Chains A and B, each alone.
Chain A
Amino acid sequence: MRKNRLLLLFFTTICSCVFGQERNEIIQQRVEFIAEQSESEELDLTNIFDQLNYFYDNPINLNNTNPDELRSLGLLTEVQITDALLHIERFGKFISIYELQSLKYWDLNTISLVLPFIKVDDRLENLHITFKDAIKNGKIEWYTRYQRTPERKKGYTPVSDSILNNSNGYYHGNADKYYTRFRYTYRTNISLGFTAEKDPGEEFFKGSQKNGFDYYSFHAFYKGGKYVRAVAAGDYQIQIGQGLNTWSGYAFGKSADIFSSKKAANLLRPYTSVDENRFFRGGAAIIGYKKWNLLTFYSNKKIDGSGINDSLTDDLEFVTTIDLSGLHRTNSEIAKKNKLSEQVIGNYVSYNSTRFNAGIAVVNQQYNQPLQKDTVPYNLYAFRGKNTTAISGDYNFVLKNVNFFGEVSYSTHSKSFAQLHGLMAILDPSVSISVIYRNYSKGYFSFYNNGFSEGSNTQNESGLFSGIKVRLAPAWSVSSYIDFFKFPWLKYQVDAPSKGYEFLVQPTYKPNKVFEIYARFRQQVRQKNSRDSDGTITPIEDVVQNNYRLNMSYKVLESFTLKSRVEYVTINRKSSPAEDGWIFTQDILFKPKKLPFDLTLRYALFDTDSYDSRIYTFENNALYVFSIPAYYYQGSRAYALVRFSFLRHCDLWIRYGTYLYANKNAISSGAEEIKGSKKSDITVQLRVSF
């Protein structure tokens, strides 16, 4: 009883803390929680952001929700979702939010994470979309962004036209990056928007870019009918099952948060980001009857590629490489643009109930020209030709406290399979585990997939991942995972079948709401080509990378947070001397409640032996700009980010950051080379929202 009272006390303090926070901070915190787990320069969490933003304004009514809606928060596990829904089935509607404590698999941590985005209301909201309401209550957001590296890169050196047009060392456009995005949303039911972007070095309203921006995207999206459940026109995303067959957009992989290793598919969503390739363009619809859904989609768009021209017609005869960078700055990049048409047609039938869902997908993908990659050994099983179909089945169900999920996919051109099977279990309110087995054959291929993997594709890999998270005491928890993987065929720069493993352990100490410290050890063992090859057959060797991290975050005052991190990395391989690297970062976040601005500062020193021993770290940036750069060589990094809110509807972000390197008189190489030892970046973004 006393324990319960304590819980309640603790819980009410959580509530007051949570509701005292500002929305941006709440959302930022959760996105960081997700982002901190991943290591990649290119990260796009726009969708997560959008979702959380929306649910902050329109909390999910637990008494009137479905598994999909709860999944889209990205903060709950399957078992927890089922737990809540079964609670309603068994005991009727939630009467108060405090009832969540009685759920077996919802610990206080989970509750405090999702609390801002859920509510309990016994009035069911009947959705009537009227034109009047849509005009009145719709939300309009408009973003414009400018980014630039002020130092001149070699590619921007003014040269005569004859050199510019005959070399690939110079960029046609200026060094600015422009971006604008407009979006109208009405609840989660209607979304209309367009996005435009020009990358640095691309031309703008001249030369190769007569239409202005290099990249345009439009979408119209409707969701919410009884039978016509969703319709998308323009650019959209498809996510099916566990991503073996079709998954456009971003997905998490291995991370200290073991639950993110299972993918939560968002079947059909409007596309609002700027990756110039990983989306579909055309139309899609979900038709449903009771618990059955049929998704059908058609996409046809141009992609970049280069190849061999037909000597007579000057058209591409076949394509040797596909370029997914989305950059069109030099002659060769411009020449690749839109050289190839890609068409994807798919159907997906699924059955969904509270505890069980399953589906079958057939997705046909083709190019208008045959693809013929270089005949090097590691490409032996690469996709060749024009056309392939991926046929897959996926399942996901919950048995008591265990969630089983998986997918099997078959690719017709190579007659090969990819499969993934996994489970997540909450063994005890304080112990959760996850196990994922995957086996992707070396010939398996589909255009857009994103299965759980160590490598970059859902291909040529088998492995077993197992993770555990234990809450030892209210303040102490430990996460750990180990992942074994094998690559049955060669890979780029690995001239033999190879194997490896990755191990992580992370104890976290969080005695109260304001202080958290965690330590992390991660060991990755992978095999790569030896560096002292005699030019005949290159043997492979183990490359052992260890990362040691200590991270602290301390909320000194309601408006003032300090974050520190020290990370050390070592790399050992037979063919070259041992390397190591250090980074030390200090962040100051100042977010006064009473003033219309907030300020984020970072100062960091780094010292690594080479690019190999680089260390990735998350950086704050303007809303929707995600950066997880790697720090390497020796030097310092600093940035300041200011956000002003004014005129009730406007927010302005200004960020200036700079790297100062030691012992360097040139940074980078080729067209990207900067003379000197300084490299900076500027970001300015304006948001207007109604």
Chain B
Amino acid sequence: MTRLLLLLLFTSFSYLFSFGQGWNPVGSRAVSLANTSVCLNDVWAYHHNPGATASIRAISIGAYYETRFLTKELQTQALAVAIPLKVGVLSAGGQFFGYQQYRNTRAGLGYSMKFTDFLQVGVQGNVQTLRLGGNYGSTISGTVEAGVLAKISEKWSVGISVMNIGRQRTNPTNDRFATVLRGGFQYKPSKKVSIFAEVEKQVITKISFKGAVEYQPVQPLYIRFGAQSAPMEFALGIRYRVSGFSIDLGSKYHQTLGWSPNFGLNYQFKEHEKK
């Protein structure tokens, strides 16, 4: 059964999988918002918008785990760390996807800073490795990412990010890693509610539209809901926050392939928000 599913994935649903080519959406908050994440400015911004990390004001770390379609071969683990400096924010992150016969790893460092009060920019370098089982061996190469986040007003922010600017190849003769261009906005009518919308294009896959809502009914609790096209999926999730810790639970749902539950744990060293 698992094999059949894998075969199905590799053939007709390869697009679902294309971000396995070097980049996966990770971070429970981002995934629970159906990847409408180009404007998120927490530690997980490392994996979505290198420019958005510049808003971080305290050392933060996060870990993430997901099994796509409840299949053990399609597990993803990820990490993200952000360390604010005197000027700018240094961040690091890694994500690991796959199983023994196919494993894709990506890890690197990024730096972001506030250009002006409302404009943040950031760049990143990542090392990509791809290892196939049997006698196929592995490859290693590097990609460059960049992004900006602009806070237009109290309510509106706009973010744009590019993954793999140089369209690096997986190895000198073969396919390229996915290049992803994303642009979106966040609308925040009040402290409790955020609405996100975003467009994402990868070179060889269909353009994808996404939208999501995040709601904070009481201080420690967040509720999230989102949907996206290409692939058509919806997502939901919650976060519970206790002092510096926050625990995330969420899942995406695909009409044919089913649920992809995820789990995340984050820690922020010092509360910087004045309550």
Residues of A at the B interface (CB closer than 8 Å) are 400, 425, 427-428, 430-431, 433, 435, 464, 466, 468, 470, 472, 480, 482, 484, 486, 499, 501, 503
Contacts and interface: CB of A to CB of B under 8 A. Distances in A.
A664 to B, nearest CB: 38
Interface string B236-275: 0000000000000000000110000000000000000000
Contacts of A425: 215
Given A431-B193, A468-B195, A499-B256, A482 B234 contact: yes
Interface residues of B, number: 17
B189 interface: yes
Contacts of A503: 229
Given A466-B225, A468-B195, A484 B232 contact: yes
B195 A466 contact: no
A427 B255 contact: no
A457 to B, nearest CB: 21
Contact of A470 (B195, B217, B225, B256): B195
Contact of A428 (B189, B225, B229): B189
A425 B215 CA distance: 10
B190 A428 contact: yes
Contacts, number: 42
A243 to B, nearest CB: 24
Interface of B: 187, 189-190, 192-193, 195, 211, 213, 215, 217, 225, 227, 229, 232, 234, 255-256
B232 A428 contact: no
B199 to A, nearest CB: 13
Nearest to A402: B217
A428 B255 contact: no
27 contacts: A425-B215, A427-B192, A427-B215, A428-B190, A428-B192, A431-B189, A433-B213, A435-B225, A464-B234, A466-B225, A466-B227, A468-B195, A468-B211, A468-B213, A470-B189, A470-B195, A472-B187, A480-B211, A482-B211, A482-B227, A484-B232, A484-B255, A486-B255, A499-B255, A499-B256, A501-B232, A503-B229
Contacts of B195: 431, 468, 470
Contacts of A431: 189, 193, 195, 213
A482 B34 CA distance: 13
A427 B232 contact: no
Contacts of A466: 225, 227, 234
Contacts of B211: 468, 480, 482
B227 A427 contact: no
B187 A501 contact: no
A485 to B, nearest CB: 9
Nearest to B209: A503
Contacts of A435: 225
Contact of B193 (A427, A484, A501): A427
Nearest to B229: A503
Q: Which 9 A-B pairs have the closest CB atoms?
A: A427-B193, A428-B193, A428-B190, A482-B227, A430-B189, A428-B189, A499-B255, A431-B193, A427-B215
Nearest to B233: A484
A430 B217 CA distance: 15
Nearest to A430: B189
Nearest to A482: B227
Contacts of B229: 503
A290 to B, nearest CB: 33
B213 A427 contact: yes
A153 to B, nearest CB: 44
A464 B234 CA distance: 9
Nearest to A525: B232
Contacts of B256: 499
